[in-house]
Amino acid sequence: MLFLAFLCGTFADRLCAVGGRSFNGTILASVECTDVRVGGQALAWTEDLPPMLVPRYNFGSTYFDSEWIFCAAGGFGGIEETTLAEVECFNGSTWQAWPEMNVPREGLGLGVFGSKLYAAGGFTSLPSFRVLTSYEVLENGNWTLVFPFTSRYNFALYSNNFSMCAMGGRGTSQLLDSMECFDGEQWVEQAPMLHPRSSFAAAKFEQTTLFGTPLKNLGLIATGPPSTPPRARADIYDEESGTWQALFAVMAEPRSWHTLSEYRGLLCAMGGILREDITVQPISPLECLRVATVSPPFAQWITIGGSMITPRYGHGAIAEYTVNYVCVCVFFF
């Protein structure tokens, strides 16, 4: 008797830019996607997914990892082009409106901790500019306003259901290098970043196999112009030692207002702007981090693919891997 088994099927991969602002000033609701293939090649960008309900940029976004639901909250936009309290979530095929936050927020952080949605910090322009010192928790269909939270906006917030950390950004009068993590009851101060950063991105980078088995855990990586050169440098946070260190692989361009997503064993920076003196330029190709060794960390940034349909900044990112079907075939002889 001979037993043979194999897998077959189709796989839907997509890395998508959601909303944001174009370089002619248009606030976007569109969603455009590409697929980065093995070997560092990207397919053409397409707009196959439905647009957001509300055009917006500089909003908070996060994924419910266990449910594959992408949520966007707050930001600036809408019909009246103002600070938003609206929340909407995407289930893979449609956008749905969720309960509005108590406070309209721009430049906020959105995360998930203990299966609850958190909207933290940011600023409001209603009725006038004010940096917010609160966060909100969505539970059982209602947002609860909680104090205090460090005054910060345009910061990065990383969460994965079991941990949630806010870092950098702008305070009431200065750039911030501070980092604080939520323990379920309060925000606890951690080791500061190497340099203050604002309008940057952070993501945890854990390389996995095709079926999600962890291979390498590099840590939490922050990208975006720091306050001192080299402006295209990324930094790594080691959770075990609780310290930051420089990643010596330098990006080709010092992006800001971009996104950072783990995708197909790469960590990809998407969109954003290049700001030099008074000149602002769009950045369209993807730039992805490929890791060769973890200890010591050795990595390389590679530029991938062509231009987006609409180069944008202040957007969100959807990074998905979906198995549509799996076949198991068995033969007996």
pLDDT in tens, 3-43: 333 333 333 478 999 999 999 999 999 999 988 764 556 67
pLDDT at residue 272 above 50?
yes
Sheet with 243-250, edge to edge strand ranges: 201-208, 214-223, 233-238, 243-250
Please report which confidence band the pLDDT of residue 328 belongs to, taking 50, 70 and 90 as the band edges.
very low
DSSP structure class, residue 206: E
How far apart are the C-alpha atoms of 164 and 64, rounded to whole Å?
13
Can you tell me the mean pLDDT for 51-80? 91
Please report which confidence band the pLDDT of residue 214 belongs to, taking 50, 70 and 90 as the band edges.
very low
Based on its alpha-carbon atoms, the radius of gyration of the chain, rounded to whole angstroms, reads: 20
Supply the pTM of this predicted model.
0.88
| One-letter amino acid of 306 | G
Q: Which of 99-103, 108-112, 230-234 is predicted with the least confidence, judged by mean pLDDT? A: 230-234
